[in-house]
Amino acid sequence: MSELNNIALRILENGKGILAADESTGTMTKRLDAVKVPSTSENRLLFRETLFSSSSMMDYIGGVILYDETIKQKSSKKNSIPELISEMGSLPGIKVDTGAKVLANSPNEKITEGLDGLRERLKVYNKLGAKFTKWRGIYNISKEYPSKLSLQSNAHALARYSALVQECNMVPIVEPEVLMDGEHSAKECYEKTSEVIKKCFEELILHKIDLKGVILKPNMILAGNKSKNKISGEEVANLTLECLKNSVPQEVPGIAFLSGGQSEIEATENLNLINKLNNTSFIISYSFGRALQQSALKFWSQDINNVSGTQKVFNHRAKMNTLAAQGKWSKELEN
């Protein structure tokens, strides 16, 4: 077993998932503004450290994706944030893309930037303790999108990123997110997502990526958020599994779904149904941001010094998702 495969399996073992705490300062400011907490670097750190030092890190969270600001910060106990995460039994990771910009010659689509200087940045992050990384490509759905240009450009960027990450002995999380914004049906989401994932793996193989040392972070197959034709959880699970079976090479050890705008319960419920029906060789888990943190953030905002209360809320959510990653969740457990 390769070292990279080992890391990927450690992150996702026993139903563990990934906490995506890699919100940029801008995004984190929006989240804190929404709960009326000033977005200072101290407050951003306080909320994150509250989560990173919770007991669920031992039992449910296999990896934490950090943002550049956070990976360089020190905890209240004066150890570095990656050290804190490692001591809690989880693995620290880092988001390394620099965000999505308008795609030249296709102004309604985006291309993710950040390849310039990436090799040097990866060495720094690796020294700081990162074991894995994340890069997100985003795709719109409509009659004409994603275009061939967007499919090709984003897949190429994800493959080049993955090659540099593996060269630095870290595991790349490959995140091609087909956005749920729009009126599209679940069938269209299925077709476009399949196309996106196939193109990504075509490029990853071309760039000689060790697929056993990659984690895929895709969207679930859902109808668009403005669609009149919503589908049942069972249909979500069946279509999602069908998509994975037809698009993802067998060598990939694990899939960690993004929540992509679903509510906390919806994301957990769909993950559970997918795992109940999972007849693939993939470990199927979660890499949630808002769907892991939202309730904890609301609770914390009422008294930012109530660490144990906030951790209790977070621990519950993490436990629910780990049960869902094993197909053992039920609505009754939520109360």
The beta strands (E) that lie in the chain are given as 17-20, 61-66, 91-95, 100-103, 106-112, 132-139, 171-178, 215-216, 254-257, 283-288
Q: Which of 217, 228, 276, 319 is catalytic?
A: 217
Burial of 202 (0-12, 13-18, 19+ CB in 10 A): middle
User: Half-sphere exposure (CA, 13 Å, Cβ side) for 279?
Assistant: 6
List all residues 6 or more positions away from 1 whose beta carbon is below 8 Å from its beta carbon: 9
Cα-Cα-Cα-Cα dihedral sign, residues 189, 175, 6, 321: negative
Give the span between the Cα atoms of 155 and 262, in whole angstroms. Answer: 25
Is 226 catalytic? The answer is no
- What are the beta bridge partners of residue 80? 74
**What is the helix (H) or strand (E) element at residue 52, kind and residue range?**
helix 41-52
**With contact defined as beta carbons under 8 Å apart, do 218 and 176 qualify?**
yes
So which residues are the catalytic ones? Answer: 217
